Amino acid sequence: MTIENISCNKSFGGWHKQYTHRSEVNRCTMRFAIYLPPQCSNGTKVPVVYWLSGLTCSDENFMQKAGAQRVAAELGVAIVAPDTSPRGDDVADDDNYDLGKGAGFYVNATQSPWTTHYHMYDYVVKELPAIIEENFPVSDKRAIAGHSMGGHGALSIALKNPGMFASASAFSPITNPVNCPWGQKAFTAYLGDDKSAWEAHDTVCLINASKAHTPMLVDQGLDDNFLAEQLKPEALQHAAEANQYPLTLRQHEGYDHSYYFIASFIDDHLRFHAGHF
Our measurement of the distance from residue 272's CA atom to the centroid of its chain's CA atoms, rounded to an integer in Å, reads 16
Residues 6+ apart with CB under 8 A from 63: 16, 33, 35, 79, 81
Reduced to 3 states (helix: H, G, I; strand: E, B; else coil), residue 19 is strand
Per the annotation, the verdict on 140 as an active-site residue is no
Q: Which of 16, 119, 147, 257 is catalytic?
A: 257
* Strands of 150-266, DSSP E: 168-171, 216-221, 247-252
Helical residues (DSSP H) of 66-180, grouped into ranges = 69-75, 120-122, 128-135, 149-160
Q: Which of 59, 202, 224, 273 is catalytic?
A: 224
DSSP line for 224-246 = -TTIIIII-HHHHHHHHHHTT--
Per the annotation, the verdict on 224 as an active-site residue is yes
Q: Which of 53, 58, 85, 148 is catalytic?
A: 148
Per the annotation, the verdict on 94 as an active-site residue is no
Catalytic positions = 148, 224, 257
